[in-house]
């Protein structure tokens, strides 16, 4: 069975890059009928917070990425790690190192001065002497001093590291006994049964160290897929300074989960020329072997396009429900269908759509100056009055087509083009020159409101004519 995991460190909110690797892991597990596990890497008490962990979970919930089983919290597993530390110590695969931080720093300085690679010198690797029981020490693992470490990566291919280039006896337990990252990752992934690790390629250079741990412990090494970074427009690793990288900010801005996920799945991964992927299609088609080898630059143009695509293609009742998150309650509006049909093709985001709805429902508070100047000429008043009279004397006005007929009549009777009535009427109803079809707008606001807005507009703007 394929088991994948997402293992964030709760130092802040869930960001775009993390979400993408989480999505990839989720999809690959689902595609194979496997499991997608969650592990919170909260061993650094000073930097982690519960709020951050909760924020990550909340983002998962919004996006509908459900994980399997219980969440693993590393902070609760010290007992487990201690067992393996002891095991390695007993098997002489790890040892106590009594070098002080000062001595270590000094060692580094000397190495740097000599332009050598900075690394631990193995001073206590074969130390047999006695030290007081309370002597401060860290635990280091005996890493291979020579030979190759080969990372078999599903994205990049086989990568060979020379042990002498990159390894030293790295610390697996700190002075206070707490285990370090590269050590616990290997243990947790093994204990959780993780078979495939999909993570950012900033972890690539950690992987040889983790392989050392796997091998020391006799664990099977999982399959790795190192996903290239997402870069900002400067070509650097995406960071919190690059604007909206908090996943939940996308909700606030009015993006739908489908659009965001579709956007992310296509960032670094592709399936031929296909651009639009439903969740079902993603789960069906995703395969980490098709992940691109090179980094991509973060750019939201396509996200906007996808978002408007999903809005356009959403059923109205689903849209109405989504819109509630932006303070718009439409369930009781009797012209809900007309309203949503008129606007869903015009909005790039749900937030924008909520604004557009309000611009129709609420009478204009002011009239755009340029619009008035351009289309509110003397003849326009005459045309508007003629149209208003027709509205007043009509009984059955419900559908957009009812209003359209009235407009048509005015156009015919006065022998004018549609633009002659359209523009001033639009300004009267909406206060500006752009917007949805006027017949729809009038059907939505109804007969009385239509009459009122025309009258108000004429009253308000006659003076300036």
Partner RNA sequence: GGCCCCGUCGUCUAGCGGUCAGGAUCCAUGGUUUUCAUCCAUGUUACAGGAGUUCGAUUCUCCUCGGGGUCACCA
Residues 328-387 that bind RNA (CB under 7 A): 345-346
Residue 18 vs 222, nearer CB to RNA:
18
Q: Which of 86, 152, 240, 312 binds RNA (CB under 7 A)?
A: 312
Interacting stretch for RNA, rule CB under 7 A, among 63-71, 116-124, 243-251, 328-336? 116-124
Minimal distance, residue 332 CB to RNA, in Å:
26
The residue among 159 and 414 lying less far from RNA, judged by its C-beta, is 159
Q: State which residue, 9 or 195, has the beta carbon closest to RNA.
A: 9
The residues, ordered by sequence, that sit 6+ positions from 407 with a Cβ below 8 Å of its Cβ are 387, 418, 421, 422, 425, 438, 439
The span of 38-46, 78-86, 316-324, 455-463 binding RNA (CB under 7 A) equals 38-46
User: In the range 230-289, which residues lie near RNA by CB under 7 A?
Assistant: 231, 234-237, 266-270, 272-273, 275
Identify which range of 23-31, 201-209, 244-252, 382-390 contacts RNA by CB under 7 A. 201-209
User: Of 296, 325, 394, 455, which one interacts with RNA (CB under 7 A)?
Assistant: 296
Q: How many residues does the chain have?
A: 465
Q: Which one of 86, 152, 162, 370 is in contact with RNA (CB under 7 A)? A: 162
Q: Count Cα atoms within 13 angstroms, Cβ side, for 15.
A: 19
Q: Which of 343, 457, 443, 454 is nearest to 403 (CA)?
A: 443
- Please report how close the Cβ of residue 192 comes to RNA at its closest, in angstroms: 15
* DSSP string computed for 248-280: HHHHHTT--HHHHHHHHHTSSB--TT-----HH
The answer to whether 68 touches 77, Cβ cutoff 8 Å, is no
For residue 369, the minimal CB distance to RNA (Å) is 15
Nearest distance in Å: CB 1, RNA:
26
Q: Is 35 in the site for RNA (CB under 7 A)?
A: no
User: CA-based angle 397:388:362, to the nearest 5?
Assistant: 75
Out of 181, 341, 397, 402, name the contact with RNA by CB under 7 A.
Answer: 181
From the CB of 230, what's the least distance to RNA, in Å?
8
Under the binding rule (CB under 7 A), the answer on residue 136 touching RNA is: yes
In DSSP terms, 230 is beta-bridged to 296
> How distant, in Å, are the alpha carbons of 20, 275, 315, 348 from that of 304?
17, 13, 19, 6
User: CA angle, corner 189, sides to 193 and 96, nearest 5?
Assistant: 130
Candidates 81-89, 227-235, 444-452, 457-465 — which segment interacts with RNA by CB under 7 A? 227-235
Interstrand relation of 94-97 and 138-141 (parallel, antiparallel or unpaired) = antiparallel
Q: Is 61 in the site for RNA (CB under 7 A)?
A: no
Give the shortest CB-103-to-RNA separation in angstroms: 9
Of residues 66, 290, 413, 448, which one binds RNA by CB under 7 A? 290
120 contacts RNA (rule: CB under 7 A): yes
Instruction: Please tell me whether residue 180 binds RNA under the rule CB under 7 A.
Output: yes
Q: Select from 10, 42, 49 the least CA-distant residue to 179.
A: 42
Residue span binding RNA (CB under 7 A) among the ranges 25-33, 165-173, 217-225, 330-338: 165-173
Question: Looking at beta carbons only, is 331 or 370 nearer to RNA?
Answer: 370
Query: Given candidates 66, 109, 202, 382, which one binds RNA under the rule CB under 7 A?
Result: 202
By CB under 7 A, tell whether 104 contacts RNA.
Answer: yes
According to CB under 7 A, which one of 174, 321, 370, 398 is a site residue for RNA?
174
State how far the Cα of 5 lies from the Cα of 24, in Å rounded to an integer: 10
Which listed residue (398, 418, 464, 465) binds RNA by CB under 7 A?
A: 418
- Which residues 6+ apart lie within 8 Å of 316 measured at CB? 336, 337, 340, 341, 344
- Single out the residue of 5, 84, 12, 70 nearest to residue 44, CA to CA: 12
Instruction: Give the number of other CB atoms < 10 A from CB of residue 269.
Output: 24
Judge whether 34 and 3 are in contact, CB under 8 Å: yes
Q: Which of 4, 21, 25, 74 binds RNA (CB under 7 A)?
A: 74
Q: Residue 350: left if φ>0, alpha if ψ -120 to 50, beta else—which one?
A: alpha
Cβ at position 310, least distance to RNA in Å: 12
Compute the least distance from the CB of residue 347 to RNA, in Å. Answer: 8
- Choosing from 96, 142, 203, 390, the residue that interacts with RNA (CB under 7 A) is 203
Identify the residue among 69, 175, 243, 315 touching RNA (CB under 7 A): 175
Distance CA 273, CA 279 (A): 17
Angle of helix 16-31 relative to helix 257-265, nearest 10 degrees? 80
* Residue 230, helix vs strand vs coil: strand
- Which among 294-302, 314-322, 386-394, 452-460 is the span making contact with RNA, rule CB under 7 A? 294-302
> Minimal distance in Å, beta carbon 59 to RNA?
17
CA-closest candidate to residue 219, choices 230, 206, 228, 210: 210
Size of interface with RNA, in residues (CB under 7 A): 87
């Amino acid at each position: 069975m394929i088991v994948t995991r997402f293992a964030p460190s709760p130092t802040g909110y869930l960001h775009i890059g993390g979400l993408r690797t989480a999505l990839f892991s989720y999809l690959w597990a689902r595609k194979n009928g496997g499991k997608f596990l969650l592990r919170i890497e909260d061993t650094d008490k000073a930097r982690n917070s519960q709020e951050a962990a909760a924020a990550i979970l909340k983002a998962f919930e919004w996006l509908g990425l459900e994980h399997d089983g219980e969440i693993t919290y590393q902070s609760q597993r010290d007992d487990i790690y201690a067992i393996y530390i002891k095991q390695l110590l007993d098997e002489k695969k790890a040892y106590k190192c009594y070098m002080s931080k000062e001595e270590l720093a000094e060692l580094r300085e000397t190495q740097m001065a000599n332009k050598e690679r900075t690394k631990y010198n193995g001073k206590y690797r074969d130390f047999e002497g006695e030290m007081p029981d309370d002597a401060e020490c860290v635990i280091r693992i005996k890493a291979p001093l020579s030979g190759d470490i080969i990372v078999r990566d599903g994205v990049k291919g086989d990568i060979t590291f020379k042990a002498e280039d990159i390894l030293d006896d790295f610390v697996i337990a700190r002075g206070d006994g707490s285990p370090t990252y590269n050590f616990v990752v290997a243990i947790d992934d093994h204990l959780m049964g993780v078979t495939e690790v999909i993570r950012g390629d900033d972890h690539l250079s950690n992987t040889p160290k983790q392989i050392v741990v796997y091998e020391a412990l006799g664990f099977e090494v999982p399959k790795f897929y190192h996903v290239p970074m997402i870069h900002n427009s400067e070509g650097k690793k995406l960071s919190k300074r690059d604007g909206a990288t908090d996943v939940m900010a996308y909700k606030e801005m009015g993006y739908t989960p489908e659009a965001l996920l579709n956007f992310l799945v296509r960032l670094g991964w592709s399936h031929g020329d296909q651009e639009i992927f439903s969740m079902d299609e993603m789960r069906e088609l995703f395969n980490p072997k098709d992940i691109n080898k090179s980094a991509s630059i973060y750019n939201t143009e396509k996200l906007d396009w996808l978002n408007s695509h999903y809005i356009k293609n959403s059923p109205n009742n689903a849209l109405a429900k989504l819109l509630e998150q932006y303070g718009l309650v439409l369930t009781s509006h009797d012209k809900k269908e007309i309203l949503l049909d008129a606007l869903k093709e015009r909005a790039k985001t749900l937030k924008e759509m909520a604004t557009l709805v309000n611009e129709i429902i609420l009478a204009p508070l002011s009239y755009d100056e340029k619009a008035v100047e351009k289309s509110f000429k003397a003849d326009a008043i005459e045309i508007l009055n003629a149209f208003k009279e027709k509205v007043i004397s009509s009984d059955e006005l419900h559908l957009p087509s009812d209003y359209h007929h009235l407009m048509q009549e005015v156009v015919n009777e006065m022998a004018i083009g549609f633009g002659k009535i359209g523009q001033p009427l639009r300004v009267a109803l909406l206060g500006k020159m752009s917007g949805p079809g006027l017949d729809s707008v009038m059907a939505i606001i109804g007969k009385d409101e239509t009459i009122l807005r025309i009258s108000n507009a004429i009253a308000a703007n006659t003076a300036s004519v």
